[in-house]
Amino acid sequence: MNEFSRRRFLQWSVATGGVLMFSDLIGQALGLMGRTSFASSGEPIKIGILDPLSSPYKTSSIHDVHGANVAVDLFNKKGGVLGRPVVILEADDASNSEQALKVATKFIKEDRVDVLMGTFNADCALVVSELAKRENKLFMVTGSHLPELSGAACNSHTFVFMPHAKMLAQAVVPHLVKAYGTRWYMITTGTLDGKASAQAMAEAAEAHKVELVGEALMPFGSTDFVSVLSAAKAKEPTAIILNLYGWDLVHALKGYGKLELAKEKIGIGGMISGEQIGRSLGYANNAGIWGLIWDPKINTESSKRFIQGVIDKYNHTPTSRCYLGYAAMTQILEAIQRAGSTKTDALIKALEGHEFDGLKEGRSIFRASDHQHVQDVLVGEAFGKELGLGHYKILATVPGLANIGAADQQHCKL
């Protein structure tokens, strides 16, 4: 949580504006508070973040909240948004759609949040997206890569910050083919997320005449991948493609290292990875070629400011999941500033078609036709040692508009 804890918020919400302003002045006079001051005594702007804080995605989701907190701190230090402080409320969706619906409903009905943000699992994102439209609340998806969220299942109240599976797959597949050849075996999580990854990777691979020699579906939350990797090895692939994420991906890479499959000239890689995977795995064990959302070696001024903000607050280099939390939160708060309001209809108008600095080399835009964040996608090769900031050698940066996977899917009817 940021400096405005849930408990403090509840205490604050029953106080009068005059007391708040007086307390702020007294605190500053006594040297008990920083220089932050707010121009009005209105209620805080409340952003409700749903993330899987107790699932195989938990490490990544914590980083999502870290990034969001850094963004909120920066706005609050400048006086908040529209003269109002910003607070974050957190809830655990546990990678479960029923839980996601429950906590999102509480955010809206009881906590009266202004905006919903977050979710990693596709099924959670879908139910929250439907709820947001029904309850007239803006929802910014930060973690799910399901293409349907800005395709057939799109809606007027949902914006997708994460590059979807087709964007990531089209970027990384040519590099996997170049490095490892065209005989692939896939290991896929048996979820909407895993299946979306597998489909996108298979579609992107067709143009490169890749032969898929087999696929294994693994339950979400699997920890032992040795047997399935051994079965994959028996098919004599040139590469094993992991349609996994979070701790599932960490455990699969541990199995790859344990079986020493690199010595068998079998490559490894997939649609998405990042620093959050390498840290949990142990960098010396990291391997493969991956799609990356963001990387700390991006050398733009806005990216460097973000990196320093995370280091100052959390004493670690940010991951791509920190990036998603920070950059998505920044766009939400800037949209409120542009709209001059927290009203949902005004925020939708402020975001549709908006071009912005996405902390990457190329510009970012929320495409008006489907609310997809069109953006650069990076491709990186994992190394087991420090490469400046981060542990991936950047092989390519694929600009958003040049990525054929980023094309409008033509299924969205807002």
Q: Strand order in 355-356's β-sheet? A: 355-356, 364-366, 373-374
The β-bridge relationship of strands 377-382 and 373-374 is unpaired
Structure confidence at residue 162 (pLDDT)? 97
Do 6-163+298-375 and 166-292+378-406 come out as alike in CATH topology?
Answer: yes
Structure confidence at residue 284 (pLDDT)? 79
Structure confidence at residue 273 (pLDDT)? 95
- CATH superfamily placement of domain 6-163+298-375: Response regulator (3.40.50.2300)
As a residue count, the chain comes to 414
Q: Per residue, what are the HEC states of 228-253?
A: HHHHHHHCCCCEEEEECCHHHHHHHH
Cβ neighbors of 401 (< 8 A, separation 6 or more) are 374
Report the b/e string of 46-84 with b at 16+ CB within 10 A: bbbbbbbbebbbbbbbbbbbbbbbbbbbbbbeebbbbeb
State the DSSP code for 84: B
DSSP 62-75: HHHHHHHHHHHHHH
Q: Do 243 and 186 contact (CB within 8 A), yes or no?
A: yes
CA distance 192 to 137: 24
Please state which CATH number belongs to domain 166-292+378-406: 3.40.50.2300
Structure confidence at residue 386 (pLDDT)? 67
| Regions of the chain where pLDDT drops below 50 | 1-35, 39-40
Question: Cα dihedral angle (300, 304, 306, 311), rounded to 10 degrees?
Answer: 160
CA distance 167 to 161: 12
Q: Where do the structural domains in the chain lie, given as residue ranges?
A: 6-163+298-375, 166-292+378-406
Structure confidence at residue 384 (pLDDT)? 75
Structure confidence at residue 41 (pLDDT)? 52
Structure confidence at residue 352 (pLDDT)? 98
